[in-house]
Chains A and B, each alone.
Chain A
């Protein structure tokens, strides 16, 4: 049977992708950040997942405002890299896993999570930056990826509680797939950041550290954080952290924290990262 063996939480700041693509990783501004992900790359290479489920959000690239799915599950064989306005990132095309994705849709809808089925979509930095951080710059990504796009742009985003329960349903769905597969689930975005308006640049390390602590030891506390609290304490775009709760919900009750990293800044964001193995 397939099983979710681990979860990865990480920011997906576009400037990180640009730093790699433009050869700036050795510049003093970027050195500490990429150093922080070196152990993660080794962990990823050792773990060798068969499939990644990538919980992320599109940033007005695949979806404009004609239709806004709250949860969109990518069921395609492959996903092209989006041109976000400065040309597509020079990274490999993302291969999907349509058989397992179709099973997830089937299982999740019957489990009362009404997924939007997405058969064609380009993927933007929200999905490719986490792959770059965890896998480096290989000629092809090491495994297929099932994208799960979450609306966190138009308020209200789904609540943390709903996201956590979706994660639990994903765990059940994966466990009911016969193929023997090792699955790693990513929750991306965050951490504290606000990138627009007079309040832009807001960062709250106390909030972020408490969130990382909660993921490892007390997710029930995080599930109760209200949208307004994210906004007030950690910035308008910190609402992306609900996507980390999908990842956490998919890991089951007990986890082992393998690694944690925190760094400010990458452009306008606080970068947070955690690796949790399911027990």
Chain B
């Protein structure tokens, strides 16, 4: 990808854009997550998480993030949110629970923010804007 486009993506705070390069790095991680749509796979995973993940060609970094449920780290390493949701469901958690964890809020705090109209884009458009450089 062209450097300027990459920098523009990286200038947006609080998100990791799931572009072709990140998707390439995340392929095996996402295939693992997708496999959790099947009940038999969910059971096998929960019985021995590390052993199950070894069936997939993901990096050790990615594996650690899965085992630690480091949601943002998984995003950074190429997981896509809809695939991550399968892992949250495997844990018996909701999508909203996972989203709240990614923001560092408790689930009730996150729900409250949404009921008040959500997160304003002010201050979340660009890192350079945050630094006051326009």
- In the complex, the chain B residue whose C-beta lies closest to that of A85 is B89
Residues A197 and B82 in contact in the complex (CB < 8 Å), given A14-B95, A267-B114: no
Is B108 at the interface (CB under 8 A from chain A)?
Answer: no
CB contact under 8 A between A198 and B110, given known A65-B23, A203-B118: no
User: With A200-B103, A201-B99 known to touch, is A60 a contact of B34 (CB < 8 Å)?
Assistant: yes
Cross-interface CB contact of A155 among B20, B85, B114, B119, cutoff 8 Å: B20
Majority-rule SS of B interface residues: helix
Q: Return A121 CB to nearest CB of chain B, in Å.
A: 14
A153 touches B82 (CB 8 A): yes
CB contact between A232 and one of B75, B120, B125 (< 8 Å): that residue: B125
CB distance A196 to B37 under 8 Å? no
Contact, CB under 8 Å: B30 / A201: no
Residues of B within 8 A of A270 (CB): 118
* Chain B proximity mask over A44-82: 1 for CB below 8 Å, otherwise 0: 000000000000000111001110000000000000000
| Nearest opposing residue in chain B for A60, CB measure | B82
Interface size on A, residues (CB 8 A): 43
| Other-chain contact of B12, A64, A200, A231 (Cβ < 8 Å) | A231
A204 interfacial contact with B, CB 8 Å: yes
Q: Is the CB–CB distance between B110 and A156 below 8 Å?
A: no
A234–B114 Cα distance when bound, in Å, is: 15
Q: Are A264 and B89 in contact (CB under 8 A)?
A: no
- Residues 31-43 of B, flagged 1 when their CB comes within 8 A of A and 0 if not, give 1011011000000
- Closest CB in chain B relative to A156 CB, distance in Å: 7
A64 touches B14 (CB 8 A): no
Q: Does B67 contact A (CB under 8 A)?
A: no
Is B80 in the interface zone, CB < 8 Å from A? yes
